[in-house]
Amino acid sequence: MSDTTAQQRANTLTPVLTARNVVRRFGGLVAVNNVSFEVRSGEILGLIGPNGAGKTTMFDLLAGSILPTSGDILLNGTLVSGEAAHRRIGRGLGRTFQIPRPLPNLTLIENVMLAEQGQAGERLLANFLTPRRVAAEERAAETKAIELLELVTLARLAREPARVLSGGQRKLLELARVMMADPAIILLDEPAAGVNATLLEVIIDRIRDINARGITFLLIEHNIDMVTRLCHRVLVMASGQLLCEGTPDEVARDPRVIEAYLGGAA
């Protein structure tokens, strides 16, 4: 599916994620000020802005790490503004972090398997009452984890401890781990940060491959080249507010964006 076709399809579908008049205050500081937007099903949406624009706070609000002072957040049409992060994961929202922190002494496959949702073995009694079911689910989870490590080009390291990975490889591992939870949408926090050029190409390709499977993405990124290559639409924040939105080309030509980045409007 071409980028144009994917975007045309996304425009006709119910939003996966909606922010509606969202405000977040920290004492006297308004970090996010009356921000509204939609993430459409099947698209890759970029969120950019200068340092201090409120992007990370917005991500934290969407993910449930913090709650809004006012306004609504909807996931597949369901109001989730007051729900914690683990509840939103169960509803299909996954998130990665700018600095991945896998469990260093566990193998890659073990790190990925930890993200599997709703396994019977998580309940103590099930291990005694239905051991065959628990064992079968464990085998299925391992198979799924291996497939995801293959997707992100890390299968050859599946039995190695996560501490052996480079920074870029840890980002690939985190992408596999978030996919283990079968998300409908993934929030990506600066996937290009600290990644060398070779691994960055791998990450871009993997994001495209996963998006082609029907997974929606919202990503924060300072690497404008990556945003231009990946994103169907781009949102720009500055000083806690949504400044503008459009295609990467439209946003790049907008004088308000140029002023925000070069005129000190952070």
Ranges of each domain in the chain: 3-102+183-262, 103-164
Q: What's the pLDDT at 194? A: 86
Total residues belonging to the chain: 266
Interacting residues of 10 by C-beta distance below 8 A, sequence separation 6+: 40, 41, 42, 43, 232
How sure is the predictor about 263, in pLDDT bands with cuts at 50, 70 and 90?
A: low
Percentage of the chain surpassing pLDDT 70?
Answer: 86
Long-range contacts of 151-158 (CB under 8 A, 24+ apart): 151/176, 151/179, 151/206, 151/209, 151/210, 152/176, 152/202, 152/206, 153/202, 153/206, 154/108, 157/108, 158/107, 158/108, 158/109
Q: What's the pLDDT at 123? A: 56
Residue 98 backbone phi and psi in degrees, to 5: -60, -40
* Distance between CA atoms of residues 223 and 137, nearest Å: 40
Q: What's the pLDDT at 260? A: 82
Strands 233-238 and 241-246: antiparallel
| Of 210, 216, 191, residue with least CA distance to 92 | 216
For residue 47, list its beta bridge partners. Answer: 220, 235
Q: What is the tens place of the pLDDT at every residue in 180-205?
A: 999 999 999 999 988 999 999 999 99
What's the chain's average pLDDT? Answer: 88
pLDDT over 50 (residue 230): yes
Q: What's the pLDDT at 94? A: 95
Q: What's the pLDDT at 117? A: 64
How sure is the predictor about 158, in pLDDT bands with cuts at 50, 70 and 90?
A: very high
* Distance between CA atoms of residues 161 and 171, nearest Å: 15
Interacting residues of 198 by C-beta distance below 8 A, sequence separation 6+: none
Q: What is the tens place of the pLDDT at every residue in 74-105?
A: 999 999 999 999 899 989 999 998 889 999 99
Q: What's the pLDDT at 265? A: 40
35 vs 122, higher pLDDT: 35
pLDDT over 60 (residue 61): yes
Tokens, residue 9? 């399809």
pLDDT over 50 (residue 266): no
Provide the angle, in degrees to the nearest 10, between the axes of the packed helices 131-151 and 167-179. 130
* Distance between CA atoms of residues 207 and 211, nearest Å: 6
How sure is the predictor about 3, in pLDDT bands with cuts at 50, 70 and 90?
A: low
Q: What's the pLDDT at 154? A: 96
Instruction: Count CB atoms within 10 A of the CB of residue 159.
Output: 10
Q: What is the tens place of the pLDDT at every residue in 124-143?
A: 555 545 666 666 767 888 99
pLDDT over 60 (residue 32): yes
**pTM value > 0.95:** no
CATH number for domain 3-102+183-262, candidates 1.10.645.10, 3.40.50.300, 3.10.180.10, 3.30.1360.230: 3.40.50.300
Q: What's the pLDDT at 159? A: 96
Tokens, residue 89? 């994961």
Burial bucket for residue 257 (CB in 10 Å: 0-12, 13-18, 19+):
buried
| Of 265, 232, 235, 237, residue with least CA distance to 251 | 235
How sure is the predictor about 264, in pLDDT bands with cuts at 50, 70 and 90?
A: very low
